[in-house]
Amino acid sequence: MKRFETRNAHFDRLVNTPGLKWLGQNTNHIPAHPAVIDAMVACARDEQFHVYAPPAGLEALRAGIVADVGLPAQAALVSDGAVASLYHVCHTLLRAGDEFITTDPTWNWPMAFARSVGATVTQIPIYGAEYNYRLDPARLAAAITPRTKMIYIVDPNNPLGVACTKAEIEEVAKIARTAGAWLVHDCTYRDFAHEHHLAASIYPERTITIYSFSKWLGLAGLRVGAIIADPEVLEQLAAAPPNNLGSSILSQRAALAGLAIKAEWFPQVLDITRRNQAMIYEALPRVEGLSMPVYPSNGNFIVIECSASGVQPEALAAAYGERGIMIRQGAYHTPNFGDRFVKVSTSVPQVWVEEFLELLPAMMERARGINLDTPLF
Ligand SMILES: Cc1ncc(COP(=O)(O)O)c(C=O)c1O
């Protein structure tokens, strides 16, 4: 069987496993606000799905997204999720021979998109105490070449949970401007950050802000997000988008309802997420060889460093998999540092995290005896 078939079949099994505890995808499993469900039910009941949505998205949603991030001079193009936004941006703005720069770890798909159009990819390592687990802008400046066409910053970083300070993002924006490069600021996890600063407010002309409804609102399976950019840039991106017949009307109705209840609902999600993080942080010192290099995390996930324990991340993920709990092995994010960590999502019911922690000593033991031919997603 082809590798993607094996991975897909494995993932299909997970999706169809009743009661699986999703602690590996940074998805949000806090019960949705009733208004979001009602919006979808109304959309289905009134059979609104017979029509195509407007190509750039429902106007109310486009305005809502721009207002949500607070970039009034910019415009939004609704997409089938942040990953589709990134695909579209890479395919429209990159050419063969261009250079795409990002961190290691980063979110991997945009690197694949860049390579698929013939661009080269440069990664700046940031995993490790020697880097303080973050991108020092001076190291970005040193990596720039005449071919640098796009800088991709995941902020907050997935998987590390670090977020750029105001000074750092100002510096990154300055470097991008000097290089004449596109700055793709992936803000998928922005709402979970303790502090977050938009590059677009510093370098509006060529920053592309990537927006997602998957994480803060928990709509991962509905596929809705956006590209936010200067109206001129958006004109270019709107010329041949992959979803030029509009994104799902059902998803857009849900997203719109989500924006309306965000102020009331999201603080509870954040509170649960941060309490779950704290619980893990407090429990880890009781397990030999485990630590949390970044705390607090600015995402809805945390990284657990396990290299000192001698346990392989894949084995630990497989051990949890046997108990119906999905966590993410580091290699999903980075071949260079993937043997050092696992990632655990925290925007989940507290009882899931309690179970994760209760099982941890036993899972470490189990992991030591695991034969690693178990497929992982
Ligand atoms: C950094 C980052 N960007 C984009 C995405 C994809 O988001 P969406 O579900 O909106 O496509 C993810 C999903 O994990 C992510 O971690």
3-31+263-368 is classed in which CATH architecture?
Alpha-Beta Complex (3.90)
Q: Is the pLDDT of residue 2 over 60?
A: yes
Domain range annotation of the chain: 3-31+263-368, 34-261
Ligand 1 center to 83 CA (angstroms) = 6
pLDDT at 7: 86
* Mean pLDDT of the region 129-138: 98
* Mean pLDDT of the region 254-261: 98
HEC string of the chain?
CCHHHHHHHHHHHHHCCCCCEECCCCCCCCCCCHHHHHHHHHHHHCCHHHCCCCCCCCHHHHHHHHHHHCCCCCEEEEECCHHHHHHHHHHHHCCCCCEEEEEECCCCHHHHHHHHCCCEEEEEECCCHHHCCCCCHHHHHHHCCCCEEEEEEECCCCCCCCCCCHHHHHHHHHHHHHHCCEEEEECCCHHHCCCCCCHHHCCCCCEEEEEECCCCCCCHHHCCEEEEECHHHHHHHCCCCCCCCCCCHHHHHHHHHHHHHHHHHHHHHHHHHHHHHHHHHHHHHHCCCCECCCCCCCCCEEEEECHHHCCCHHHHHHHHHHCCEECEEHHHCCCCCHHHEEEEECCCCHHHHHHHHHHHHHHHHHHHCCCCCCCCC
Mean predicted lDDT score pLDDT of the chain: 96
Ligand 1 center to 59 CA (angstroms) = 23
pLDDT at 221: 98
Topology of domain 34-261, CATH: Aspartate Aminotransferase; domain 2 (3.40.640)
Ligand 1 center to 43 CA (angstroms) = 25
pLDDT at 375: 56
**209-227: per-residue pLDDT in tens?**
999 999 999 999 999 999 9
C-beta of 212 in contact with ligand 1 (< 6 A): yes
* Mean pLDDT of the region 31-42: 98
pLDDT at 242: 93
* Mean pLDDT of the region 94-107: 98
* Mean pLDDT of the region 64-87: 98
C-beta of 154 in contact with ligand 1 (< 6 A): yes
Select the more confidently predicted residue: 13 or 60: 60
**335-371: per-residue pLDDT in tens?**
999 999 999 999 999 999 999 999 999 999 999 988 7
C-beta of 79 in contact with ligand 1 (< 6 A): no
* Mean pLDDT of the region 97-114: 98
pLDDT confidence bin for 374, thresholds 50/70/90: low
C-beta of 224 in contact with ligand 1 (< 6 A): no
pLDDT at 119: 98
pLDDT at 376: 57
pTM of the model: 0.96
